[in-house]
């Protein structure tokens, strides 16, 4: 029996509806709306699309959003000044610095300047540390979205063997932490893992986040496993596309390549996965749609934490000492 497709759109729409309702409640009962500021440097086409999508979604859900677009040759000191200014603004709840930044800017330094209480991407070391220790915090959007997919699709996590392929700070490592907090038994694999397929075939849930198109094949997947495909890769080679897709899906993909020059594929070979997995997320239409939805959820969460909890007051007090650089 073919695997069940887990619709990212359905779950993302549910989360966005919840965010809109929360924003409306905060406006009506507390007199404010959460505010997200996106900072983009340069004219990278992909970054432009991503930021436009985030700003548009925020507006659609009733959040306040700002877009700071800076030239590619902006100095690191000037960008740092802008981040610190946004840290000081009490009306700003979420700060997003779109990556990648130009090579002359130290990404790590800029990300670490962001007030952890406003770090809606969840990349700041303080938030990473809080996540590791099991505290409630702003978690990276993609891993948090995957937890939502599993829970809202009725897929049990507790007690399951989960294998995460990929060890990035953005997906792999925080994904492992979130799964551990849900009482899964977690194995992290990477490019140096020996006999990868022997490890991944034991997984009840397999999360592919290695950044290589179609890398996870049928022999990596245990019969009936849930497969979460985090990959977003552009494929322009039609022969390679034929290895990944079949029948009507192949024809659609070839047409997209003719039109755009590439088609978007994940880290999993869907042609092989569909006959081995019990459930899996398609690309596109899966995990990627959750990332923006979870960014909106984090913005509302940041707004509530900053204004309402003792932990937030403690963090805010600490951060007032860091308003200069």
What is the predicted pLDDT for the residue at 46?
83
User: 187 and 275 in one domain?
Assistant: yes
Query: Would residue 55 count as lying in a domain?
Result: yes
**121 catalytic per annotation:** yes
Question: Going by C-beta distance under 8 Å and a sequence separation of 6 or more, which residues neighbour residue 292?
Answer: 12, 53, 54, 57, 141
User: 156 and 57 in one domain?
Assistant: no
User: 205 and 88 in one domain?
Assistant: no
**How confident is the model over 127-183, as pLDDT tens digits?**
999 999 999 999 999 999 999 999 999 999 999 999 999 999 999 999 999 999 999
pLDDT above 90 for 2: no
Query: Would residue 87 count as lying in a domain?
Result: yes
Q: Which of 93, 98, 204, 301 is catalytic?
A: 98
Question: d(Cα 192, Cα 61) in Å, to the nearest integer?
Answer: 43
User: 276 and 207 in one domain?
Assistant: yes
Q: Which of 16, 54, 160, 173 is catalytic?
A: 54
Q: Where are the alpha helices (DSSP H) in the chain?
A: 8-30, 45-60, 76-88, 107-113, 125-132, 141-152, 172-181, 196-200, 238-244, 247-260, 270-273, 287-308, 310-319
Q: Which of 93, 115, 121, 204 is catalytic?
A: 121
pLDDT band per the 50, 70, 90 thresholds, residue 306: confident
pLDDT band per the 50, 70, 90 thresholds, residue 312: very low
Q: How many domains does the chain have?
A: 2
Contact criterion met (CB below 8 Å) for 274 and 3: yes
Among 15-19, 83-87, 187-191, 319-323, the minimum mean pLDDT is found in 319-323
**How confident is the model over 207-257, as pLDDT tens digits?**
999 999 999 999 999 999 999 999 999 999 999 999 999 999 999 999 999
Question: Going by C-beta distance under 8 Å and a sequence separation of 6 or more, which residues neighbour residue 94?
Answer: 34, 35, 36, 37, 118, 120, 295, 298, 299, 302, 303
**321 catalytic per annotation:** no
> Which structure tokens are listed for 228?
């979460």
Among 31-40, 145-154, 238-247, 299-308, the minimum mean pLDDT is found in 299-308
CATH number (domain holding residue 223): 3.40.50.720
* Residue 189, phi then psi, degrees to nearest 5: -115, 165
What is the predicted pLDDT for the residue at 79?
97
CA 299 to chain centre: 14
> Which structure tokens are listed for 6?
């887990």
Question: d(Cα 306, Cα 54) in Å, to the nearest integer?
Answer: 21
What is the average pLDDT value for the chain, to the nearest integer? Answer: 93
The dihedral through the CA atoms of 82, 69, 121, 163 has a sign that is negative
Its domain, for residue 101, covers 29-115
């Amino acid at each position: 029996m073919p695997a069940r497709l887990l619709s990212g759109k359905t779950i993302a729409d549910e989360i966005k509806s919840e965010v809109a309702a929360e924003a409306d409640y905060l406006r009506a009962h507390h007199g404010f709306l959460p505010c997200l500021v996106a900072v983009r440097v340069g004219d990278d086409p992909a970054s432009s699309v991503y930021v436009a999508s985030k700003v548009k979604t925020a507006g659609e859900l009733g959040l306040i959003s700002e877009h700071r677009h800076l030239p590619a040759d902006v100095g690191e000191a000037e960008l740092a000044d802008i981040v610190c200014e946004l840290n000081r603004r009490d009306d700003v709840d979420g700060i997003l610095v779109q990556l990648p930044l130009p090579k002359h800017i130290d990404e790590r330094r800029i990300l670490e300047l962001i007030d952890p209480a406003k770090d809606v991407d969840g990349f700041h070391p303080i938030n990473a540390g809080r996540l590791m220790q099991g505290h409630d915090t702003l978690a990276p959007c993609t891993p948090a979205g995957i937890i939502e997919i599993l829970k809202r699709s009725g897929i049990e996590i507790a007690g399951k063997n989960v294998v995460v392929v990929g060890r990035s700070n953005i997906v792999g490592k925080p994904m492992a932490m979130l799964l551990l907090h849900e009482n899964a038994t977690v194995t992290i694999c990477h490019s140096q893992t020996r006999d990868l397929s022997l490890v991944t075939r034991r997984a009840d849930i397999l999360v592919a986040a290695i950044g290589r198109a179609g890398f996870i094949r049928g022999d990596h997947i245990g019969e009936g496993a849930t497969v979460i495909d985090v990959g977003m890769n552009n494929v322009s080679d039609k022969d390679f596309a034929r290895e990944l897709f079949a029948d009507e899906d192949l024809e659609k993909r070839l047409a997209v390549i003719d039109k755009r020059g590439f088609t978007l594929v994940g880290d999993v070979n869907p042609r092989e996965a569909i006959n081995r997995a019990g459930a899996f997320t398609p690309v596109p239409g899966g995990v990627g749609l959750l990332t923006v939805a979870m960014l909106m959820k984090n913005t509302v969460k940041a707004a509530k934490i900053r204004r309402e909890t003792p932990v937030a007051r403690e963090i805010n007090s600490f951060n007032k000492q860091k308003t200069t650089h």
